[in-house]
Structure 1
Amino acid sequence: MDIKWWIELSIFSSLVLFTAYDSERRERLLKKKFDDWFCDLINLTIQGTIVPLIQVYFIVKVLKLTLPNFESTWQIGITGAIFLNLIIVDYVYYLTHKALHKDRWWGLHLLHHSVTDFDIFASARNTIWTTFIFPYVWLNSIFYFFIDNKKAYLVCASITAMLDLWRHSKLAPKIKGPIFNFLSLILITPHEHSWHHSKGVSKKNFGANLCIWDKLHGTYHNNPRFPKEMGYPIKSDLKTKLLNPFKLKRENS
């Protein structure tokens, strides 16, 4: 999966430079609390190291041992690989994300919604366990094993990773400009995702890449401006934030 790693590293580095270039963004980063930095960086590390190791050396390895005759048997080519990753996985993500906003599972996702200001590091803010629930870990590994065009699939997975970082940044197109009008027809942009992180409209815009799922299910919120207030700050200690999601407590609650 070297190609995926290099693509994602390049994208991440570019967005870090964009964040650091602006003095206001730098100042906001410097003001982040230690707990927030630790949660962000530990989960970025998990996503960049532990998750790929689990995918390659556990899930795919188990499939190779148990289903050796089925590896690369789905002859679907580039088109099929794109469809599986950018459509099927994206829709499963939408359903999973929406489920995490149900009262029963909200604790697993609450820490992510403690983000009060967008930056690409905060895209990874989650409990230790939450990352492994999303389909990017398990479903990507399964599809990767069965399909024939693995390189195309990895490129699509890298595009998804890029879009995840992007929608948690403020690298947003000019409101109502031609680029914004085009992208907002297809994608969840930083504008839409910021409303998902807002205090008043958090149960909208669950989509990862495509906005079509929200439009089909009536969960789409269209407002091109960034909300004034974002996030639900957590008053629990660092250990609870990372390891005990169902014991998290919001400030002023």
Structure 2
Amino acid sequence: MGQPIVNFGKFLESLRGSMSLREAARKSGLSHAYIRDLELERNRSTNDRITPSPDTLQKLSVAYGYPYMDLMMKAGHLVNKDLALSPAKDAEAEMNLDLKHVHYIEIGNKDATYYTGQEKLVHSIESLLDFSAFLDKLEEHNFKKLDADLYVNFNQIRHYDERRGMLFFEEDGTGPGVTISAIRQRKYHDLIVRNVAVNTNKSLEFTFGKSGTPITFTASEKNV
């Protein structure tokens, strides 16, 4: 890991240029308040210094049309020697890990932690040279972002505790679980329920119309 350039926040503001904060928010999927905090390099609520994560930089890269790897270097997440010593290759191959067996991934500023049920594997973020391609790979394997830095494999969810907002990877709700944010619980509730049914070969019952007549679908009859 390196050091961010001096006045990195001002640099982000210059990339935004004449684009309004709300337009930048629409293009990036970030809140306009958070984008402004990044430009000021501090959380205006707590006055704590903040640094954008690789995931945030990927979104800003798309919104501003600026090379992702250049942003990663200017933010201090990568240095030139990282690019020189590591060949550009698919992120999944870099990890040498089949994502379909991973339950969830936690992504921090310096590393990504993979949880497979049997083990926990930690890899340096510096090895993920093409981080945007890595995020695309997660989407292909049915991972969804369920908290700020939490990506969960929906193909592995086998129990959903709606009241506590928790997901488990054992059908009886034992073993390690993850807590999801309330906003994403609301967004993905129906999808989580359907995936649990498919993953456990259970059926779902839905009620349609004024008659309230229940209609049951088996997992094989649904498109998830």
What TM-score do you get using the length of structure 2 for normalisation?
0.30
More helix as a share of residues: 1
More strand as a share of residues: 2
Q: Larger RCO: Structure 1 or Structure 2 (Cα < 8 Å, ≥ 6 residues apart)?
A: 1
**Structure showing greater Rg:** 2
